[in-house]
Structures are given as C-alpha cells and as structure tokens.
Amino acid sequence: MKNIARNFFYQSLFQITKIIIPIITIPIVSNALGPSGIGIYNYTFSIAQYFVLVAGLGVAIYGNREITLTLNRNKEELSKVFWEILMFKAMTTIFVLMFYFALTFFLENKIYLLIQSLTIIAVFFDVSWFFMGIEDFKKTSISNLLVQIVTFVLIVLFIKNEGDALKYTLIQALGLVCSQISVWLFIPKYIHFVKVSIRNSFNHLKGSFEYFIPQIAIMLYTNLNKTLLGFTMGSMAVGYFTNSLQLNTVFITIITTLDLVLLPHMTGFFAKENVTRIVRMMEKTIHLQLYFSIPIMFGMLTVYDKLVPWFFGEKFIYINNVIPYFSALIVIIPLGMSISRQYLMPIGHVKEYNKSVIVGAIINIIANLILLPTIGFFGVVFSNILAECFVTFVRTRSFLKSTDFKFEYRKIGIFLLGGMLMCIVTRYLTSNLSSSILTNVIQFVIALPIYLMTTTLFKANPFLDLLRKK
C-alpha cells in the first residue's frame, strides 16, 4: 500500500500540474488564438494522431503488462524484453513517418502538419510503459513536470495573437518530444544494453496488436469527431468543440490518476491469482471516484455560464450551449476507464475491452452519419456522448457479470442528491452576479459545504468510514 500511495502522490503531482497549467494557459491561448487558431492546431493534431496510433501499435498498454510480468525475473530478462519492444516500436515509427510525410503533400496546412510530425517521432522515445510496469512513477512525473513548466513559460512569452498559431503548434510538439526524451536519463539504472534480433522483436506483434485494435476504435469515437468537424465545418467549429471538452478533460485526468497507479498493482494481484483482492479494492476505489466525479459534474453545471466569458473570452461564448451536455462525461468516462484499467486489462480480458471500444466506435460513426448532416455541430456533440455512454455500459455490464461486485446504490443516490442540491441552491443565490473569477470562487464556497453536509448527514461520506476504521 505504501508503494501505491507513493506512486499516487507522484502521479497526482504531475496530473495536478496538468490541471493548474492549462487553467492558466487556456485563457491566454483562447484569447490570443481565438476559435480559428485553436481549431487549426487541434484539427492538424487530430490528423497526426492517426499515425501516432499506428506507430505506437498498442505498446503503451502491452509493454506495461509485459514489464510487470517480467519484473520478478533477472535484470537480463527485463533488459531483453525492453529492447525487443523498443526495436519493434522503432520499426513501426519509421514506417509510419514515411507514409505521413507522403500524405502531407496532398493536404492543406502543410507546415502545421509537418510540425505535428514531431508527435509521431515522440512515440519512439516514449518509455512510460516501462516505468509504469516497474511501478516507478517518480521519475516520469518529475521529468514531465519540468517540461510542462518550460512549455508553459514559452506559451506565456510567445503566444500573443491569432498569428501565433504556428508558434503554439511548435511549442506543444517540441514539449512532447522533450518530455519523452528526458525520461531516458533514468533508464540505465534499471536495464543494460542487450543485443536483440528483429525476429524476436516481431514476436511482440501479436500481443501488442490485441491492444492496438481497441486503440483504433477509441480513435474513431474521440479523435474522428475533430477531423470530421474540420473537414465539414472548418477550424472554428473544431475550436468550439475542443474548448467545450477542455475543462471536462482536465477533471477527468485528475479523477483517473488512481487508475494509472493501480494498473500494474492489479496486474501483480492477477499474477498471484488473487482476483478477489482486485474486486475488493475496486469496491473502495470506484465509490470513492463517484464521490468526487458526481459533484464535479454538478459543479460544472453550476459555474459554466459565469466561467466561460472571462475564462475562454467572449469569442467562445457560443460554447455555453455545449458544456452542459458534455458535463455528464465527467462521471461516465472515469467509470469506464476504472473498470478497464483496474480489472479488464490486469486480468487479461482484452476481448471484453476490445468489444467495448468497438461498440463505441460503431455507435459514433453511425450517429455522425445520421446527425451531422441533419443538426450539424451538435450532431458531433451528441455522437461523442452516445459513444462514451455505450463504452462504459459494455464494460460495466461485463464487469458485473463476471464478478460479485455490487454498486452501493444508496450512497450513489446520496451523491446525486448532494450534487443536485448544491447546484440548484448555488445557481439561485448567484444568478444575479456577473461573470468573473470572484463569482466562481463565491459559487465554490457555497457549493462545497452543501455537498459535504448532505453526504455526511446521510452517512455516505467515504472519509467518515476511514475515520471509523481508525
């Protein structure tokens, strides 16, 4: 448990930085670049991500699992597995880059796309899967933290107006490459160089491909939406869509931090044939997650219209129409990710995981084909939400069927009651206040005690359970 707590601390440190920095940079970048500048960056980034996906070929998850399962063997074996996976990834990256450069000649925004190629190169240098496998989050977290800070400083110094969209793209791409390279400084501590054959490297193709299939599906119900909007409605629509999701994404990132830490730990339980311990731990972690995600969802519904004008700028006022729909994802996405990262992946239920994301991809494509031509921008919004709902539904159904896990519906009901009460009361009391950071602070000060008092009064506060046990 000490190891989990330590890893959670370092991962949280990095993830909190990923929250704090965007909170500062989003207003700067949004006001400087506007919907069009934000849109062109995200549109070209979305195209590059298809190639990033193929270059990675599922190694991020597969490599993590292989290193965890090899960890108790000798250093020689660990080094061998590492270099085999890395060589395999090097070959896929080179192959993908050739196709990407050929494609850029046939597309618009060539210079943006060429800069985005750095995100593909970063795939080769990414060894986060190794450090996750050995359950050492300190080094990756600190390295990424330092690069995040440098990137932040560069954005503050150089991003001033709509003409700086290219600079912003370059800063983000270089930041990604540097964050991956910096972690290599710590590799010699754990492994040494071992000469491996290309044939042995390709032995990892089958295993990684199993995790690659769901990544394709994930791309089709997440990244595809930005690409479709860019093709059909232009970069401004992509800018609105991206920023509508931005704040939700920030909260989802911090909520799911625990999942990343627990993935190798749960895999270790499975290696010891102790699936029961996985389920018992999940009974605690999932309900703790819901205790936070539900009020954050209602918190977003409470503050969004007072937040958008000063945070994103008047150019983005349109997204007030979109954010309420996306707020549900703050609960839906983390729940689905918890089940996959804490259960399906560690115990090797890859088929169930694949099934969930394939269903999500199919739903997204069908929904977009029907809704995009009829209701335009909101067709993509609703398609995205539908896809995420089905992904989480399939995973949850599979999890409940194969285990004795039980949701504590009474507690969840109280979480929902507390969230709704704080939303209704806070919005009523602050309805006449203007859009400003002070208004949002006042809303937070009013809302938080309402939720804490409600959940405590009805004995649904998980921290009270911890105190009783002590």
Please indicate, yes or no, if residue 242 is contained in any of the structural domains.
no
CB 357 within 8 A of CB 301: no
Which pLDDT score is estimated for 257? 67
Where b means 16+ CB within 10 Å and e means fewer, 211-221 reads bbbbbbbbbbb
268 shares a domain with 397:
yes
266 shares a domain with 193:
no
* CA proximity to 335, closest of 391, 392, 384: 392
* 196 sits in which H/E element: none
Domain boundary among 146, 180, 207: 207
Structure tokens at 109: 């925004």
Which pLDDT score is estimated for 14? 63
CB 347 within 8 A of CB 271: no
Which pLDDT score is estimated for 11? 58
Give the structural domain span for 23: 1-207
327 shares a domain with 203:
no
As a whole number of angstroms, the distance between CA 305 and CA 290 comes to: 24
309 shares a domain with 186:
no
50 shares a domain with 123:
yes
145 shares a domain with 15:
yes
As a whole number of angstroms, the distance between CA 123 and CA 192 comes to: 21
Mean pLDDT, contiguous 10-residue spans, the chain (470 residues): 55 65 84 91 92 83 76 73 83 91 88 94 86 73 82 91 92 92 85 78 74 77 85 89 86 70 49 66 85 94 94 90 94 90 74 84 92 93 93 90 89 96 97 94 96 92 65
Please indicate, yes or no, if residue 236 is contained in any of the structural domains.
no
Please indicate, yes or no, if residue 213 is contained in any of the structural domains.
no
278 shares a domain with 203:
no
304 shares a domain with 170:
no
Please indicate, yes or no, if residue 225 is contained in any of the structural domains.
no
Task: Residue 176: count other Cβ atoms within 10 Å of its Cβ.
Answer: 22
Please indicate, yes or no, if residue 215 is contained in any of the structural domains.
no
186 shares a domain with 111:
yes
Structure tokens at 402: 């194969």
339 shares a domain with 424:
yes
Which pLDDT score is estimated for 390? 92
Please indicate, yes or no, if residue 109 is contained in any of the structural domains.
yes
Task: Residue 374: count other Cβ atoms within 10 Å of its Cβ.
Answer: 8
409 shares a domain with 350:
yes
pTM above 0.85, yes or no: no
Q: How many structural domains compose the chain?
A: 2
298 shares a domain with 198:
no
Question: Would you say how long the chain is, in residues?
Answer: 470
As a whole number of angstroms, the distance between CA 281 and CA 258 comes to: 12
Domain boundary among 189, 207, 225: 207
Please indicate, yes or no, if residue 228 is contained in any of the structural domains.
no
Please indicate, yes or no, if residue 69 is contained in any of the structural domains.
yes
Which pLDDT score is estimated for 7? 55
Query: Please, what is the Cα angle at 296 between 2 and 298, to 5 degrees?
Result: 155
